[in-house]
Amino acid sequence: MSTLPQTRLASHYVVNLPEPDDFDFWREAARALVQCGVAPEHIAWVEPGGSGDLFAAAAAPGEQPLPLPTADARPVRASKRFVSLARNAILHSDPERFGLLYRLLWRLQATPRIMEDKADPDVRRAEELDKAVRRDSHKMHAFVRFRLVEAGDEESETREHYVAWFEPEHHILRANAGFFMRRFANMRWSILTPRGSLHWDGATMSEGPPAQRSDAPGGDPMEELWRGYYASIFNPARLKVGAMLKEMPRKYWKDMPEAALIPGLVAGAQKRESAMVEKGALEFEERPDTLAAIDKAIRACRKCPIGQLDNHAVMGEGPQDAALMIVGEQPGDQEDQAGRPFVGPAGQLLDAHLEKAGIDRRAAYVTNAVKHFKYVQRGKRRLHQNPGAKEIDTCRWWIESERAIVGPKLVLAMGASAARSLLGKTVSISRVRGAPIALEDGSELWVTAHPSYLLRLEGAAREEQTRLFDADLAAVRERLAELAG
Ligand code: URA
């Protein structure tokens, strides 16, 4: 183990973190300290620019390295849940976060299941930090707006350069570099923030120092496009000023060209809503913010003809903080009767292949693109019917609501209906399977075939499709492990 640049003061240690978002550094130091039996109250964690800490302020130049664990020191225990939470929570701007996470790691050694105790104040605080960081990332994905600062020049092969200004609340910039790199892969862009900057030239990413708002431009022709787009998607029937401000706080407005339209659109909304109601086009109202509220709402949903049949809404099931969300098409006959997803033949096949891939279904949130069973009656039997594109699109509201609450890192869509529900357009499974697709909230979508499709095949075709299905699940399993750190 390398020597870390830390200070020892009497029985206290000061750990100077090189960067405020350096999880790996924190983890290495925390591991060594746990192995050496240094209790949380004897450590001060100091991030760059962060003073105000008693021990740190008193730190003398005659620094001593941290104690090194002996070769036979006990390995440090840390559950996957803790590691993934800590990796994200460490990006929070709360200066207490390093100490909090160390305390949790320390306590985990004696109480391995502590993360399951939702009433524990340390667990609760860590979850709050994690949630705030996710929310900040979500805002960044949604509200970063690039402006053209330099035209391209074919002769000198210079690309157009776009610059965005954003003010994150937490240290999320570096962690979100991959998202913007994938989404704007072919553009040359810079994201400037008061915490640092990112620069992508179409091939490499580099980091730069903190910037000021005046370093970023304020207006270009793209803004007209954004405004046009926003006006076209604006739905007056969904307008709830309070909810809108929560989702898109005013502080982001100044960097968003379309925000200039908001006052006018709000003023005109009342009139337009009445016109829509008259046309019978009124849409869903406020988004439910708990799974129980979604469950209740889908039972009453009659927005498409499927909800009018003699069936029951089937809600998704699984942990509310699942890293993996599995999405099928719609409940079948057995699921409709049991009120649970994937319990019939397709569910049994799915369970077997999940197990083979090493994916624990109980740790996943399992749901469907469409919440009601669509069928035609033939005598006593109810025969499955595929939902239409319009029905899937109408039901998207619910899956989006489930995703907003569960916040999975990875979504596995099985079959074309599920893929459409996640992407908003029809895709070919064979073209998109096997690689992640970035979703707008920073999670990843993986697409595979539906298990019912395998059930319908025979012979060599079934063998081949089963092999592909297993390969997709294995890739998902691997990716989940990577995401969990
Ligand atoms: N098929 C699905 O897509 N979902 C279920 O819940 C059951 C079968």
Q: Which CATH superfamily is domain 291-484 in?
A: Uracil-DNA glycosylase-like domain (3.40.470.10)
**What's the burial of 185, exposed, middle or buried (CB within 10 Å: 0-12/13-18/19+)?**
exposed
**pTM, two decimal places:** 0.50
pLDDT for 374 beyond 70: yes
pLDDT band, very low/low/confident/very high, at 2 (cuts 50, 70, 90): very low
* Pairwise CA distance, residues 366 & 317, whole Å: 5
Beta bridge partners of 15: 6, 45
Evaluate: CB of 417 within 6 angstroms of ligand 1. no
Report the pLDDT value the prediction gives residue 33, as an integer from 0 to 100. 94
**What's the burial of 154, exposed, middle or buried (CB within 10 Å: 0-12/13-18/19+)?**
exposed
Evaluate: CB of 451 within 6 angstroms of ligand 1. no
Question: Separation of 222 CA from ligand 1 center, angstroms?
Answer: 43
Question: Separation of 125 CA from ligand 1 center, angstroms?
Answer: 37
Report the pLDDT value the prediction gives residue 149, as an integer from 0 to 100. 78
pLDDT for 405 beyond 50: yes
* Pairwise CA distance, residues 123 & 109, whole Å: 15
Evaluate: CB of 448 within 6 angstroms of ligand 1. no
Mean pLDDT of 191-204: 93
pLDDT for 216 beyond 70: yes
pLDDT band, very low/low/confident/very high, at 237 (cuts 50, 70, 90): low
* Pairwise CA distance, residues 246 & 252, whole Å: 11
Question: Separation of 327 CA from ligand 1 center, angstroms?
Answer: 9
Question: Separation of 296 CA from ligand 1 center, angstroms?
Answer: 20
Q: Kindly state the tokens that stand for 467.
A: 């092999």
Q: Which residues of 288-305 are buried (b: 16+ CB within 10 A; e: fewer)?
A: beebeebbebbeebebbe
DSSP symbols for 184-228: TTTSEEEEEETTEEEEE-SS-EEEE----GGGS----THHHHHHH
What value, to the nearest 5°, has the Cα angle with vertex 94 and ends 89 and 100? Answer: 60
Q: Which atom of ligand 1 is nearest to the CA of 329?
A: 3
For residues 62 and 213, which has the higher predicted lDDT (pLDDT)?
Answer: 213
Report the pLDDT value the prediction gives residue 153, as an integer from 0 to 100. 65
What value, to the nearest 5°, has the Cα angle with vertex 175 and ends 170 and 178? Answer: 140
Q: Which atom of ligand 1 is nearest to the CA of 341?
A: 6
Where in the chain do CATH 3.40.470.10 domains reside?
Answer: 291-484
Q: Which of 326, 327, 330, 453 to mutate to test the pocket of ligand 1 (most atoms within 8 A of CB)?
A: 330
Evaluate: CB of 332 within 6 angstroms of ligand 1. yes
Question: Separation of 367 CA from ligand 1 center, angstroms?
Answer: 8
Mean pLDDT of 300-324: 90
Evaluate: CB of 452 within 6 angstroms of ligand 1. yes
Mean pLDDT of 273-293: 62
Q: What's the chain's average pLDDT? A: 85
Q: Which atom of ligand 1 is nearest to the CA of 368?
A: 4
Q: Kindly state the tokens that stand for 80.
A: 């996957």
Report the pLDDT value the prediction gives residue 441, as an integer from 0 to 100. 85
* Pairwise CA distance, residues 319 & 118, whole Å: 13
Nearest alpha-carbon partner for 469 in 458, 454, 455, 459? 454
Percent of the chain exceeding pLDDT 70 equals 79
Question: Separation of 314 CA from ligand 1 center, angstroms?
Answer: 10
Evaluate: CB of 387 within 6 angstroms of ligand 1. no
Q: Kindly state the tokens that stand for 156.
A: 């000198």
pLDDT for 277 beyond 50: no
Q: Which atom of ligand 1 is nearest to the CA of 369?
A: 3
Question: Separation of 451 CA from ligand 1 center, angstroms?
Answer: 9
Report the pLDDT value the prediction gives residue 301, as an integer from 0 to 100. 85
